[in-house]
Amino acid sequence: SEAGVLTGKHILVTAGPTHEPIDPVRYIANRSSGKQGYAIAEALAKLGARVTLVSGPTGLPAPAGVNRVDVETARQMAAAVDAALPADVAVMVAAVADWRVDTNADQKIKKDGAGAPPALSLVENPDILAGLGASDQRPRLLIGFAAETEKVVDHAVAKRERKGADWIVANDVSGDVMGGDANTIHIVTRDGVESWERLPKADVARRLAARIADELV
Ligand code: C5P
């Protein structure tokens, strides 16, 4: 695709993990590096889109030309996504924590001396992608990601339906994908499955950005 094909489009990208606090010094997280989402945000901006990147904690620099909004928790990410609407396209790459701790202690939890560990009770986080899928501000093209370790395409087909997404980009994270520099993806659409060869994450991003631009014409 040529530069400028996405000029005038607002594209929302979520990336990175979320951190769910247990107390002021501890949190629950996951192994997402943010690399794939950041690369997608950068590739979309290079094609001329106005990109809002809602990012969990990653330590990565903001890609050039991208408006980054930093968040920590799933609930903050949901609020930032909401605040960024409307968008023509949303690409939800973040590995949002499914659960948060229902009581976030004000003070550091101390060992009680008797050897009894604290019980953490978890509650489900809002599903940001599913929320957008059902929203009256649903982007025209809504893309979710699916990190799976087995039955990758089957799970993605079900996820596309369940979350009201147009595409699910499925990746097998049983190997070295999380934190690594390459990715093997399958794009599940209404019409079927497109499987791409293993590629550097930057190439996955460029091809996906071009595929998005094609879809919008
Ligand atoms: O159900 P699962 O977590 O595998 O779905 C992954 C997709 O849903 C990703 O696009 C992810 O960004 C999105 N998601 C979300 N909010 C959640 C959980 C997942 O937006 N709470």
ipTM for the complex? 0.97
The reply to whether ligand 1 has any atom less than 6 angstroms from the CB of 144 is yes
Tens of pLDDT along 38-71? 999 999 999 999 999 999 999 999 999 999 999 9
User: How does DSSP assign 176-197, residue by residue?
Assistant: S-TTSSEE-EEEEETTEEEEPP
Residue whose token pair is 């097998």: 172
Q: How far is the CA of 113 from the centre of ligand 1 (A)?
A: 39
pLDDT band at 1 (very low <50, low <70, confident <90, very high): low
User: How does DSSP assign 67-133, residue by residue?
Assistant: EEEE--SHHHHHHHHHHH---SEEEE--B--SEEESS--SSPPPP-SSSPPPPP-EEEPP-HHHHHH
Task: Return phi, psi of residue 135, to 5°.
Answer: -80, 150
The reply to whether ligand 1 has any atom less than 6 angstroms from the CB of 125 is yes
Active site residue ranges: 30
Which tokens hold the place of 65?
């030309």
| Closest CA to ligand 1's atom 4 | 146
Tens of pLDDT along 105-155? 899 999 888 888 889 999 999 999 999 999 999 999 999 999 888 899 999
Of the candidates 175, 174, 176, 198, the one whose C-alpha atom is nearest the C-alpha of residue 185 is 198
48: left (phi over 0), alpha (psi -120 to 50) or beta: left
Distance CA(80)–CA(94), nearest Å, equals: 13
Question: What residue type is assigned to position 1 of the chain?
Answer: S
pTM above 0.80, yes or no: yes
The reply to whether ligand 1 has any atom less than 6 angstroms from the CB of 52 is no
